[in-house]
Structures are given as C-alpha cells and as structure tokens.
Amino acid sequence: MLVLGIETSCDETAAAVVGPTGILSDVVYTQEVHAAYGGVVPELAARAHQERLAPTVRAALEQAGIERPDAVVATAGPGLVGALLVGWSFGRALAAGWGVPFRSVHHLEGHLLSPLLEPDPPEPPFLALVVSGGHTALYRCDGLGRYVTLGQTLDDAAGEVYDKVARVLGLGWPGGPYVDRAAAAGDPSAVAFPRPLPGELDFSFSGLKTAVLQHVQRPGRASDADVCASFQAAVVECLVTRVRQAARGTGIDQIAVAGGVAANSALRSALSSTDLRVHLPPRSRCTDNGAMIASAGRLHLLAEDPPPPLGVRSGWPL
Ligand code: KG4
Ligand code: ZN
C-alpha cells in the first residue's frame, strides 16, 4: 500500500510517500516567514501552507514516481488549527477525488513511531522519548496505538526552552540548531544551571529557562558559547536521567527518540553512550516531516483500525 502523508501542524509544509519498501519520497518545506517574529505566527503559517502545499504534494508524488497513491493520510492534531485545516482538508479532498481511503493522523504518534522507518527498528514494548517544540514526554509503547504516558513536562517543552534561550542571546530562530552549534564551542560546566527533576518521571524546564535568562542579564556573565553548552548539559542530563529511570522501572531497554530536539548532538551522544538500545532517526526525520505521518497512517490503515473522529484538533491526547 502506497500512502501519501501530509503534515501541516506547525511551520513545516511536508508531504511524503511511504510504501512496503519504506520511504519513496519525503519533501519538507520549512516556512521562513516566522523568523522575523521569533516564533510561529499562526495566521502566516496557514497562509504559507496554502501557498506551498500543492507544489509540495506534487513534488512528493513525482519523486515517488506515482500519479496516485492507494490512500491519503494527514495530520489532524495537535497543532495550530488554521494550519492543520489546510493540510487535512486538502488531503481529504485529494482522497475523495482519487476515490481512495483517507485517515487522520496524530502528530505525536507520527513522531513516536518514526524510528520504525529506520533499519533495525525497535520492537514493542519499547520506551519512546518525544522531545519537540510543543511536547516533551516519555511513553511506553506496547504496540500500535497502545501508548502509556510515563512522564511529561509540567511546564515548558524542551524545544520551546531552546527557542527562548536562543532568542535572548539573539542567535536566530528556531533556536535549537543555533544553541546546539554554539554549545559545541563552549564549556558545559562553565555555569551550574539547575537540573529540575519533579515527581515520578515528569519533566520541568521553566526553572532552568528562568535561570538562564537571569544569568545572561548579569554583569560578568559567561560567554554565549559557555551559556549554551551549560544550558544544553542541564537539558540533556534531565532527559537522560528520566530515560534511565524509566528503563530501570519498566525493565525495558529499548528507547526510541523522536521530535525536533532528538536532532540535538549532545542528546544524541549522551543517549548513545548509555547501555540502552537507542533508536534515533536521522536528524532530518527528527523535525516535522511527511514520512512519519504517512508511515503512522499506513500502519493503522493496514491494521484496519477504526478511524479517529473527523476534523482537526488543536489539542488531542495521545
Ligand atoms: O518536532 P518539531 O520539528 O516540531 C514540533 O512538533 O514542535 O520540533 C521543533 C523544535 C524546535 O523547538 C527546535 O528549536 C528544536 O525542535 N530543535 C532542536 C534542534 N533542532 C531542532 N533543539 C535542540 N537541538 C537541535 N539540534
Ligand atoms: Zn513535531
């Protein structure tokens, strides 16, 4: 079954074709219009999706060498409602026109299952750490559609804090890759930032964010590189500590990592040096993409699972 997947939940206009042999095409257009505002502007995102979606879908079909897929799936949430509506309605209309099935996909499930697209995929039960701009959570995946939330952030998402730190340092947007790069030249022990670990397996990043923002306003503060490296060391330590605890508590040693922050070099190397079996998608498939949506939708279509209710949703628990 060849499935066209469409993703427009935030600021990436993405389309991909996934089939039995894996990814046939994966086209991602990252909207640049938001950089000037230092954050995603929902109205501009929806308009940019409208402009870019048709050429992006056409490119995905062309690169896959097909004229018509066997099914169409699209992200229905969580995300920005206006942005979601563009991709979801377009996907639904395409499916109706072609006379093929259509299915809504949960954005976080797309991220969570994205390591299954790689060689040597994790096998349920496995742990999954989803760290993105909007979400930071740790799950136990017992099978397709069977996810138990073990812990999640009580306040800010990890990616959101990366973006805020980059903004106060004037590094650019989205901030994660800039902080990641700046950190490479810094000393991770230059500033002793807090490593908040709230109850159970939850996360909390707002105290760390405040500590960084206060530090950079102080006279005689550390260099940007040292601030970035020290901040990143704190984030990575919190994430890796929780992953280890979850592995100990559940007795599961396979961990799939996904979401934009999974592209972070320090997180990747810290996880890789644990004794866990770590499944990390390549960097380009950690951030939002169509392949993860096509793949998650395809798995549910093949399983003939009952479809989620029609419509898009800004909030949608996994
Ligand atoms: O998964 P994603 O593309 O979109 C959401 O669903 O949120 O994640 C975007 C987030 C942004 O906050 C971005 O700054 C962060 O992922 N990010 C990174 C890196 N690359 C992207 N954070 C840290 N290090 C990176 N290399
Ligand atoms: Zn995402």
Question: Has residue 175 been placed in a domain?
Answer: yes
- Give mean pLDDT, residues 87-108: 98
Average pLDDT over residues 290-305: 98
> Cα(171) to centroid of ligand 1, in Å?
15
Same domain, 46 and 133: no
pLDDT exceeds 90 at position 142: yes
110 within ligand 1 shell (Cβ under 6 A): no
pLDDT the model gives residue 38:
87
Q: For residue 118, is it within any domain?
A: no
Ligand 1 contact, 263 CB (< 6 A): yes
pLDDT band at 16 (very low <50, low <70, confident <90, very high): very high
Q: How far apart are the first and last CA of the chain?
A: 25
Which domain does 94 fall in, by range? 3-113+286-303
- Does residue 49 share a domain with residue 12? yes
pLDDT surpassing 90 at residue 199: no
Q: Are 160 and 250 members of one domain?
A: yes
**Are residue 107 and residue 134 in the same domain, yes or no?**
no
Closest CA to 262 of 250, 247, 278, 274: 278
Residues 33 and 96 in one domain: yes
Q: For ligand 1, atom 13, name the residue with the nearest CA.
A: 176
- Say how many Å lie between the CA of residue 292 and the centre of ligand 2: 10
287 within ligand 1 shell (Cβ under 6 A): yes
The pTM (predicted TM-score) of the whole model is 0.96
262-289 pLDDT per residue, tens = 999 999 999 999 999 999 999 999 999 9
pLDDT at 1 > cutoff 90:
yes
**174 shares its domain with 97:** no
User: Domain count of the chain?
Assistant: 2
Query: From the CA of 128, how far away is ligand 2's center (Å)?
Result: 14
Regarding whether 133 and 18 lie in a shared domain, the answer is no
Cis peptide before 308 (omega within 30 of 0): no
Distance 10 CA to ligand 2 centre (A): 8
- Is the shortest distance between the CB of 159 and ligand 1 below 6 Å? yes
Domain CATH code at residue 30:
3.30.420.40
Gap between the Cα atoms of 161 and 314, Å rounded: 21
- Whether 137 and 90 map to the same domain: the answer is no
Verify that 208 and 296 share a domain, yes or no: no
Dihedrals phi, psi of 157, to nearest 5 degrees: -80, 155
- The residues near 305 (Cβ < 8 Å, ≥ 6 apart) are 144, 145
